[in-house]
Amino acid sequence: VFKTAAERKVLMEINGSPKRQDLSDRMVRRAASFGLRFSLATDAHKLKDFNRMQWALGVARRAGLSAGQVVNASAWSAVSSPV
């Protein structure tokens, strides 16, 4: 799955919602080894849920991602251009 996603330049989401933590830090590390990039998300539907970003960030950090591998930790010019 990760190989095909990388070939198609798919962004993978690291979701901070306790109910939607689909990618573990191990899976993120494996996906990154294929050159995939990521976005961090909260799945927030209420203002109070925006604090979930800490959980998504924790997964990214444990996986060893750099800011350059996380599109919403990059400059707008890097995000707005094709992946």
Alpha-carbon gap, residue 57 to 61, rounded angstroms = 6
The pLDDT assigned to 73 comes to: 86
Q: How confident is the model at residue 26 (pLDDT cuts 50, 70, 90)?
A: very high
Could you tell me which residues are beta bridge partners of residue 14?
40
| pTM summary value | 0.84
User: Which one, of 80, 32, 83, 38, lies nearest residue 56 by Cα?
Assistant: 38
Average pLDDT for 30-38: 96
The pLDDT assigned to 82 comes to: 55
Ramachandran sector of residue 64 (left: φ over 0; alpha: ψ -120 to 50; beta: rest): left
